[in-house]
Amino acid sequence: MPLMEHLRELRRRVVICLIALVPGVVLGWVYYDHLIHWLSAPVCDIPVTGAVRTGRCGPLVINGLLGPFNLQVKVSLAAGVVVASPVWLAQLWGFVTPGLHRNERRWTAGFLAAGVPLFLAGGALCYWILPRATKLLLGFTPSDVGSLVDVNDYLSIVIRLMLVFGLAFEVPVFVVLLNLTGILPARRLRGWWRQIVFGVFLFAAVATPTGDPFTMTMLAAPLCLLIVAAYLICQVNDARRGRRDIDYESLPDEEASPLDTTPGGRDEPS
Structure confidence by residue, pLDDT tens digits, 45-61: 666 554 445 556 667 77
Instruction: Indicate if 101 and 230 belong to the same structural domain.
Output: no
**% of the chain with per-residue pLDDT over 70:** 75
Instruction: Indicate if 24 and 147 belong to the same structural domain.
Output: yes
| Domain end among 115, 135, 167 | 167
Q: How confident is the model at residue 26 (pLDDT cuts 50, 70, 90)?
A: very high
Our measurement of the distance from residue 144's CA atom to the centroid of its chain's CA atoms, rounded to an integer in Å, reads 40
Lowest mean pLDDT among 166-175, 186-195, 240-249: 240-249
181 compared with 185, residue with greater pLDDT: 185
Count of CA atoms in the C-beta half-sphere (13 A) of 67:
12
In a domain, 253, yes or no: no
Lowest mean pLDDT among 24-28, 78-82, 241-245: 241-245
| Domain end among 138, 167, 196 | 167
Which letter does DSSP use for residue 209 in this model? S
Helix (H) or strand (E) holding 149: strand 149-150
Instruction: Indicate if 107 and 69 belong to the same structural domain.
Output: yes
Mean pLDDT of 64-81: 85
Q: Chain-wide mean pLDDT for the chain?
A: 76
Instruction: Indicate if 163 and 221 belong to the same structural domain.
Output: no
- Residue pair 123/81 in contact by the 8 Å Cβ criterion: no
CA distance 211 to 133: 9
Q: Is the pLDDT of residue 201 over 80?
A: yes
Instruction: Indicate if 149 and 182 belong to the same structural domain.
Output: no
Domain count, the chain: 2
In a domain, 177, yes or no: yes
Q: How confident is the model at residue 270 (pLDDT cuts 50, 70, 90)?
A: very low
The highest-confidence range among 16-25, 80-89, 246-255, by mean pLDDT, is 16-25
Instruction: Indicate if 109 and 220 belong to the same structural domain.
Output: no
Instruction: Indicate if 194 and 156 belong to the same structural domain.
Output: no
Q: Is the pLDDT of residue 237 over 60?
A: yes
In a domain, 254, yes or no: no
Instruction: Indicate if 85 and 188 belong to the same structural domain.
Output: no
CA distance 141 to 155: 20
Give the structural domain span for 237: 170-242
In a domain, 20, yes or no: yes
Instruction: Indicate if 142 and 197 belong to the same structural domain.
Output: no
Question: How does pLDDT run across 81-95, given as a tens digit for each residue?
Answer: 888 888 887 787 777
Query: For the whole model, what pTM was predicted?
Result: 0.66
222 compared with 116, residue with greater pLDDT: 222
